[in-house]
Amino acid sequence: MSLDIVEPDNEVTLPSEESHKRYLVHAGETVYTVILERSDSHAIRRAESGQFVTRHLWFAVVVSFLILFALPVVQPFDLGTLGLASTLPPLFYMGLTALLVGFTVALTRNPSRSVLGAYVVAVTATLHGLSPLVYEYLRFPWAWKHVGIVEYIQRNGGVDRSAESLSAYHNWPGFFGFDALATDVAGFSSPLSFAHWAPVFFNLMFLAALYVIFQRFTADHRLIATGLVFFTIGNWVGQDYFAPQSVAFLFYLVIVAILLRWFLTSGRSELGAERRIAERPVAGAILLVVIAAVAVTHQLTPAMMIAMLIGLTLIGGLHAKWPLIAALAITGLWLFTFARPFVADYLPRIIADLGNLGGRVDDGLIDYNHVDTSQRYVSLATRGLTAAVLGLAGFGFLRQFRGLGAWRQALVLGATPLLLVVASSYGDEIVFRAYLFVLPIAALFAASLWFPPRSEPPGRIVMASLAAVLIGLSFASLVAMHGNDIQQIFVEDEVAAATLMYNTAPPGSGVIQLTNSYPTKFKNYENLDELDVAAFSLAARERFLSDPSRWFDRWLREGEYVEGYVLITRAQRAEVERQGNLPAGSTDRILDDLRAAKSFEVLFDTPDGVLFRLNKEAIG
C-alpha cells in the first residue's frame, strides 16, 4: 500500500476510483487530501491492461473483416480517374481510417507489442492485399514476364545465358529457379496460382526484417511500430510483386538486420556482448548465404548492398571487414563467370551511362504536357507522398538524430542508395529503386518526429496529428499504388487472346502491339519477337497511322517472321490514351483498318482483346 499527501491548494484527480481512495485529513485549519493506493492495484492495472489488449485485438480483427467484406462490391474494371482508389467503397476507407485511428489511440497508452503488431499487420494487409483480393489475374505486365522465365526453366531444365530476349533474367536466375522448384513440387502448373499474393508476403517479411533493424536504433516499441506503418504506407513504388527485386530487397534488409544485430560496433543491442560474439560465427554463415543469394538473384541489389557495406565499413561501424570483402568477391565472381555474356554486352553502355544524373531523373518523371488528367493526378499523388515521407524524415533527422542510437550508421543506410542514382546505368527506374532503399530509414526518422527520444509520452493532440498524417498519406498511397491499374491489370479476354497467341506461335514469329501492356511473354516467350509501335518516333507514328495495315504488313514481312501477329488489348489502348502516345481514336482506326485488310485474318475478336495473323498468301 502506498500513501500520498497532497498540499491544500492542489486539486487532485484519482487515476482510478477502484484502485485509489481519497481521505481528507483535518490538521487545525488546514485540510490535506490523503490518497491511498490499494495494494491490489497492480493486479487491477494488469486486468485493465488485459482488457485493453483484448479490446484492441478484437477491434483490429473485426475492422479487417469489415474491409474484407467491403471488397466484393468493387467493380475492378470500372476504374475512375484515380484508378482503384475511385472505385473502393466508403466502407473500405472507413475501415482503413478506423485501423489507423485505433493504432494511434493504442499509442497513447503503453501498448503491448501484440496490439501494435496487430495494427501494423492489418494496415499492411489492407494496403498491399488489395490486388489479389480484387483482381482475378496477376497485376503488372512485367510480372507475367517473370512467370514466362519460370515456365522456360520448367520446359528446358535450365536457363540460356546467351538468350537475346530477357537475357538479364537468364544471367541472374536465382528467383526464377526457386519458383520453378516451388511451383513443381507444390503441384501447380504455373506460378500464376500463387504469384498474385507476393505483395502481401513480401511486405510482411519486409516488416519482420525492419523490426530487427529498428530495434538497433531504439527500444521504444511505439516508435518502431510507427516507423513500420510509415514504411508500409510509403512503399508505393511497386517493387514488392512477383519479381527478383522483391526477394533481393528482402535479402538486403536481412543483411542489414544481421549486421546491426551481430556486427555493429555501436548503438543499443538486445544481446549482451558475450552472446553477440558467441553467435557471430553462425550469424556470419547466414550472412554469407544471403549475400550469395543476392548476387545470383538481381543485378542492382548487389550494388546497393556493396555501397551500404562500404559506407558502414568506412565509418568504422562494423566489427569486421570480411562482409564487405565477401560481398565484393561473390558479386565479382558471379559477374565475371556466370553472368559474363550479359556483362560483355552491357558493359560499354554501363560505362557510358555513369554520371548521367539529370537525364535519369528527368526520364523517371512524366511530362505533364502529354498525359491525361487521370495520369496527372496519379503522378501528383506519387510525388506528394514521396515528398511528404522524405520531408518528414528530413525534419525528423535534424531534430532527433542524436537521440537515436547509431545515428551515423542510420545516415549511411539512408544516404548510400542515393549514390546509385548517379553511378548506375539502370535507366529511369533507378529513381524509384533508390527511394525504396532509402525508405526504411526515412520511415523511422519520420516516425521519430512524434516520439522524440527520452521525452514525455506524447499527448492526445500530438497523436491526433499523427493519425491525420497517416490517414492522409495512406489515401495518397492507394492512389499512387493503384492509380495506373487500368493499364496494369487484365481481364479474361486479354488473357485469352495472349494465351492463344503464345500457344500457337511457332518459333521465329513476330508480334506488333501498341505497347507491352498485356499478359506478356508468360509462355513459350522465346518464340516471339515484339514490336511496340507506341515507342516509335513521332514521325514514324504519324506515318503508320496513315495506313496501319499496310505498314504492319510491311514490317512483319521485312522481319521474315515464320508467322506475324498483331495483338491489341484493352490495357494497351488505356496506356496509349493515358500517356498520349497516339492521338485520340487511333486504336479504333487501327482496328477497323486491320479488320478490313485482306492481308490480316482475325483469330480472336472481343472488345477487350483482338488478335490478327498476317495472311502471307495475300498480297500486302
How far, in Å, CA of 139 to CA of 147, rounded?
Answer: 12
Please report, for residues 88, 384, 392, the alpha-carbon distance to residue 83 in angstroms, rounded to integers and kept in the order given: 9, 17, 27
- Of the residues 186, 352, 357, 602, which one makes contact with other proteins according to CB under 8 A: 186
Specify the stretch interacting with other proteins by CB under 8 A; choose among 280-288, 313-321, 467-475, 478-486.
280-288
Scanning the structure block, which residue is given the C-alpha cell 506488333?
Answer: 512
Answer for which of 47, 73, 277, 286 binds other proteins (CB under 8 A) is 286
User: Does 212 engage in binding with other proteins (CB under 8 A)?
Assistant: yes
Residue type, 358: G
AA letter at 400: Q
Of the residues 68, 283, 500, 603, which one makes contact with other proteins according to CB under 8 A: 283
205 binds other proteins, rule: CB under 8 A: yes
Burial bucket for residue 301 (CB in 10 Å: 0-12, 13-18, 19+): buried
Residue 162 within binding range of other proteins, rule CB under 8 A: no
The nearer residue to other proteins, 34 or 219, going by C-beta atoms, is 219
- Give me the least distance between CB of 442 and other proteins, in Å please: 20
Distance of CA 71 to the CA centre of its chain: 21
**Single residue of 31, 61, 62, 282 touching other proteins by CB under 8 A:** 282
User: CB under 8 A: which stretch of 286-294, 363-371, 467-475, 550-558 binds other proteins?
Assistant: 286-294
Chain mean position to CA 280: 31
Residue whose CB is less far from other proteins, 262 or 445 = 262
Which segments of 4-134 does DSSP mark as H helices, in order?
A: 41-70, 84-87, 90-108, 113-128, 130-134
Which of 301, 327, 302 has its CA nearest to residue 313? Answer: 327
- 311 within 8 A of 412, measured Cβ to Cβ: yes
Note whether 2 binds other proteins by CB under 8 A: no
Does residue 418 belong to the site contacting other proteins (CB under 8 A)?
no
At closest approach, how far in Å is the CB of 173 from other proteins? 5
Total count of residues recorded for the chain: 620
SS3 state of residue 4: strand
Rounded Cα–Cα distance for residues 80 and 57 (Å): 34
Is the Cβ–Cβ distance between 515 and 581 less than 8 Å?
Answer: yes
Enter the C-alpha cell of residue 14.
484519482
> Rule CB under 8 A: is residue 241 a binding residue for other proteins?
no
Under DSSP, is residue 140 helix (H, G, I), strand (E, B) or coil?
coil
Alpha-carbon gap, residue 233 to 100, rounded angstroms: 11
Contacting residues for 410 by C-beta, under 8 A, at least 6 apart: 217, 401, 404, 441, 444, 445
Total residues at the site for other proteins (CB under 8 A)?
45
Does the footprint of other proteins cover residue 251 (CB under 8 A)? yes
Q: Which stretch binds other proteins (CB under 8 A): 1-9, 100-108, 253-261, 532-540?
A: 253-261
Least distance CB 104 / other proteins (angstroms): 21
Closest CA to 190 of 140, 242, 141: 242
Which of the stretches 96-104, 138-146, 178-186, 310-318 binds other proteins when contact is defined by CB under 8 A?
178-186
Amino acid at 443: A
Closer to other proteins by CB, 338 or 450: give it: 338
Q: Residue 341 or residue 458: which is nearer to other proteins going by CB?
A: 341
Least CB distance to other proteins at residue 293 (A): 4
Supply the minimum distance, in Å, between the C-beta of residue 204 and other proteins: 9
Interface segment toward other proteins; rule CB under 8 A; list 48-56, 72-80, 285-293, 379-387: 285-293
Residues 325-354 that bind other proteins (CB under 8 A): 338
Rounded to a whole number of angstroms, the minimum distance from the CB of residue 472 to other proteins is: 28
Q: Is 34 a residue that touches other proteins (CB under 8 A)?
A: no
Of 248 and 505, CB closest to other proteins: 248
What Cα–Cα distance (Å) separates residue 383 from each residue in 76, 112, 364, 367, 380? 25, 35, 12, 13, 5
Site string for other proteins, 349-388 (x = CB under 8 A): ----------------------------------------
- Three cell numbers at 568? 491489341
Taking the C-alpha atoms of residue 565 and residue 511, their distance in angstroms, rounded to an integer, is 5
Binding site for other proteins (CB under 8 A): 117, 153, 156-159, 173-178, 180-182, 184-188, 193-194, 205, 208-209, 211-212, 247, 250-251, 254, 257-258, 275, 279, 282-283, 286, 289-290, 292-293, 296-297, 338
